[in-house]
Amino acid sequence: MKFIYFSLLAVLFISCKNEKNASQIDFTAKNQADIEKYIADNNLNAQKSTSGLHYVVNERGNGAQPDAFSNVTVAYKGYFTDKSVFDQSDAEGISFGLQEVIKGWTEGIAYFKEGGSGILLIPSNLGYGPSGRNGIPGGAVLIFDINLISVN
C-alpha cells in the first residue's frame, strides 16, 4: 500500500513539475519566425510594434480612434498561421472593453480609427501564452482580420 501511495505522489509531483515547465517555455523566437513566414507567404505589408505585435492597416478609418481604455465594437475572424479558423463574429461584430481582451487586441485595435480594417498578427506572449486556452494551443500565433465598427 505504501508503494502505491508513494508512486501516486511521484506521478503527481512529476505532473506538476511538467506543467510548470510547459508554462515557462519562451515561444518568442518561434513566434517571430512563424509570423515573418506568414507575412512573406501572404505578401503582406506589416508593421511591427516594440511589443512584437505585427499589424497590417488595410483601411485606417476616419472616425474616432480608441485607446487602451475604450469600449469598441469589432467584427473579426481569428485563425492560426495554417489559416484554420478558431473563432469569428458576425458582420455586426461584438462590443467589449479593450481592457477585457488579450494584450494583442488592446494594443492592436488602437492602431485603427472607426471604419478601419486590417490584420493583427499576435505572438503568444500577447495572446494566451504558453498554456493556451479553450482550444487554442500554448504558444500559438493568433491572426485576426478585424473591422473596427465603432468606438462606443
> Active-site positions?
76, 86-87, 102, 128, 144
Which fold does the domain 26-151 belong to in CATH?
A: Chitinase A; domain 3 (3.10.50)
User: How many Å apart are CA 103 and CA 127, to the nearest integer?
Assistant: 6
Range list of β-strands (E), the chain: 47-48, 54-59, 71-79, 85-88, 94-97, 117-122, 142-151
Query: Each residue's pLDDT tens digit in the chain (152 positions)?
Result: 444 433 333 333 443 444 445 556 889 999 999 999 999 999 999 999 999 999 999 999 999 999 999 999 999 999 999 999 999 999 999 999 999 999 999 999 999 999 999 999 999 999 999 999 999 999 999 999 999 999 99
Whether this prediction's pTM lies above 0.75 is answered by yes
Which residues have a Cβ under 8 Å from the Cβ of 18 and sit 6 or more positions away? Answer: none
Which residues have a Cβ under 8 Å from the Cβ of 49 and sit 6 or more positions away? Answer: 55, 107
